[in-house]
Amino acid sequence: MNAIMNFMRRNYKVLLVVAALSVALWSFIPRGNKNDPEKDKLLLELLAFVINKGHYAPKDIDDNFSKIVYKDYLTALDPSKRFFLQSDIDEFSKYETLVDDAIRNKDLTFFDLTYNRLMQRMEESKAYYKDILAKPFDYNVDESFNIDYDKMPYAKSTAELKEKWRKQIKLSTLSSLSDRLKLQEDKAKGIKEEPVADEESDDTEPAPKTTAADEAPKTFEQLEKETRENSLKSLNEYFGFIKDLNREDYFSVFVNTIAETFDPHTSYFAPEDKDKFDMSISGKFDGIGARLQKKNDFTEITELISGGPAWRGKELEPGDVVLKVGQGKEEPVDVVGMRIDDVVKKIKGPKGTEVRLTVKKVDGSMKVISIIRDVVEIEETYAKSSIVKKDGKLYGVIYLPKFYIDFENKDSRDAAKDVALEIDRLKKQGIQGLVFDVRDNGGGSLRTVVDIAGLFIDQGPIVQVKSTGKNKEVLPDNDSKVQWDGPLVVMVNNFSASASEILAAAIQDYKRGVIIGSKQSYGKGTVQNVIDLNQFVRNSATGDLGALKTTTQKFYRINGGSTQLKGVASDVEMPDKYTYIEVGERDSENAMPWDKIDPANYNVWDRQPNFEKAIANSKKRVAQSQQFRLIDENAQWLGKRKDENDYSLNIDKFRKEQENIKAENKKYKAIGEYKTNLEFTSLPYETAQMEKDEVLKEKRKRWHESLAKDAYVEEALNVLSDLQDSGSKPTVNLKKREKLVKS
């Protein structure tokens, strides 16, 4: 742990250097209001300055840089090319090589031009879709629409743009109409509609209540009208969301495009985005514990977070509409029509303070609900475990969604402490092998991953980190205690990134456990620091400037290789739906390159005699598995389908195409119906909690059901079985037994 803290102290100098050099900026004290050009200019200046001084590999801000920003920014503003005209692009084009000059000179001309033009085009487009949806479509016309927006040209005229809108909307309504016609035809044939199943569970949506009018067959004209009405409602909601965005939001898009041109993980956080980032990395926040959703001008409660103040109070309910928000004894503020981000700001607040919500209940009654804010923990963020018996042996499964930590409070829970605790609980149940699942885990704290990897080895290096112009630093586990020394499998997929890759790489290099999953993990081999931009400007009247997350270091495996781009290759490669689709860091245009450095000194784990045999056996099983063969066939089909962008807008041809796709899809239906016949259960402490918490009980039920259908988890358990040394049991290193966590 001392090594980690020393490392953090040494590298804090990166921030101190930036802070020291920023004295020159302190003399610039802007004045302004919310949409303040002076604040925008200051952000441009700070962005260029901080990245130039703090980024691992800063790029020259020149004409080539300008061209990349120009292209990506316009794509971000209008990705489907349904707002700007070619004449707009022609007008913008003179700035293609001038964005670098605009950054240096703090010139907002290009941004102002694009922002004002976008607002104009969006306002004009409202009339387009309303006019298009006012009359029926002719689905007998033989025409088509290509949805490859990258290759699609901008419309040359307003008439051409309206035609593009017409085809886009027609494709959407045609898809909906086809579904409605199929449903009605199936009913006439006595074929019942298949329930809509959650992809991760067996739970199905309850069938909606139907009336006699609903049961009666509808004419084509009635169904066609319904699809247009639904499309109109959706577009109205979309433009309602657009209306909530202000100039600051669009300027954040511009600033972020500049930042991400350096690399995909350098980005600007507006103040509210910084709060969301802090919440995501710690898994908690101060508030009432409710999830909100905007519906037209109203803010609706969609979910209460289990264990939070609102959940404990039992007065606020999903479906309640928030009309007013009051702080303590202050006069409540009307929030109808307010941006949802602004409503959230008013509801959240420091622990121990009171907020009063005036809500309209589902039954139409009005009620004022007083809630005392508290720390709310987002349960989905945290590690969870389960036990399962297979072939007479008991195994444990730990799922870690992210490497969370509270940087403000070292005594708070973090991923390393929680994982160590779950391992301890699993050992008390007598498990003989452990599956550690970091699939879809995008990373998190560097400190916690070093601590977690250390739970599985005696002691030694975990990861190497390098800053520009400095010697590498080795981050070790110096504690000889091993929290778990039995058979270990680490599960990864294409979206296991950053800290997940550090863990998988360390376990693989030590040959401590078997890595199974996708061909390779995500491929993010860089470290970011979040720099508060407010520290560089004193006495500013601009308000909160937000923060910049910038890449300051690269990390390397202890064998010297980088996970950048290449990720971690699984010991046992298992097909999935993304096998033939480029995803991950290698799919990013501005990604940093792969390289390598000298390896660290480490000793391979020598207490797993069946290691190579277990890998070989697993590869054979995967190759012979009918389920994995089917998954691979489906992946090949999806790989081909991703390039098919042309859709007929003729109803007969469209329905024929969809029938062919559905027929092909039926071949792969068995993938979702697969069952392992294994039973996963919670540990005793959690079973007791579920007796008092129905929400937690339902969440665990869904998770256990998804595990029981997961062929990847089943194979992980098979590998654990192969890793068992005949006749031996995992041992527990009793050295420093009282020390549960290495940090």
The whole-number pLDDT of residue 54 equals: 92
The whole-number pLDDT of residue 455 equals: 98
The pLDDT confidence band at residue 46, using thresholds 50, 70 and 90, is very high
State the amino acid at position 623 in one-letter form: A
Percent of the chain exceeding pLDDT 90 equals 70
Q: What's the CA gap between 616 and 621, in Å, rounded?
A: 9
The pLDDT confidence band at residue 679, using thresholds 50, 70 and 90, is very high
- Write out the two tokens for 86: 């070619």
Higher pLDDT among residues 196 and 472, named by residue: 472
Highest mean pLDDT among 24-38, 120-134, 208-222, 237-251: 120-134
SS3 119: helix
The whole-number pLDDT of residue 156 equals: 97
* CATH no. for 380-526+551-723: 3.90.226.10
CA 472 to chain centre: 31
**pLDDT, tens only, 377-419:** 888 889 999 999 999 999 999 999 999 999 888 888 999 999 9
What angle, 0 to 180 degrees and rounded to 10, lies between the N-to-C axes of helices 220-244 and 158-188?
A: 130
The whole-number pLDDT of residue 102 equals: 96
Closest by CA to 85, choosing from 124, 111, 126, 133, is 124
The whole-number pLDDT of residue 468 equals: 83
Q: What's the CA gap between 83 and 88, in Å, rounded?
A: 10
Higher pLDDT among residues 283 and 167, named by residue: 167
The pLDDT confidence band at residue 421, using thresholds 50, 70 and 90, is very high
**pLDDT, tens only, 62-116:** 999 999 999 999 999 999 999 999 999 999 999 999 999 999 999 999 999 999 9
Mean pLDDT of 333-359: 90
**pLDDT score of 695 more than 70:** yes
Own/partner long-range contacts of 115-118 (Cβ < 8 Å, ≥24 apart): 115/247, 115/250, 115/251, 117/84, 117/88, 117/91, 118/77, 118/78, 118/83, 118/84, 118/250
Is 380-526+551-723 the same fold as 284-377? no
Strands 646-648 and 144-146: antiparallel
- Write out the two tokens for 537: 């400007």
State the amino acid at position 716 in one-letter form: A
- Write out the two tokens for 391: 């072939």
Closest by CA to 381, choosing from 434, 418, 424, 344, is 418
Helices (H), 295-376: 309-313, 340-347
* CATH no. for 284-377: 2.30.42.10
Percent of the chain exceeding pLDDT 70 equals 89
Mean pLDDT of 490-495: 97
Which range has the worst mean pLDDT, 98-107, 131-140, 582-591?
Answer: 582-591
**pLDDT, tens only, 602-615:** 999 999 989 999 99
Task: Identify the DSSP state of 585.
Answer: G
- State the chain's mean pLDDT as an integer: 88
Q: What's the CA gap between 700 and 54, in Å, rounded?
A: 43
Residues 6+ apart with CB under 8 A from 186: 192, 193
The burial of 412, by beta-carbon neighbours within 10 Å (0-12 exposed, 13-18 middle, 19 or more buried), is given as middle
The whole-number pLDDT of residue 409 equals: 84
Q: How many CB atoms lie within 10 A of CB 215?
A: 8
The whole-number pLDDT of residue 192 equals: 65
Mean pLDDT of 709-735: 76
Q: Domain segments of the chain: what residues?
A: 65-197+214-261, 284-377, 380-526+551-723
**pLDDT score of 526 more than 50:** yes
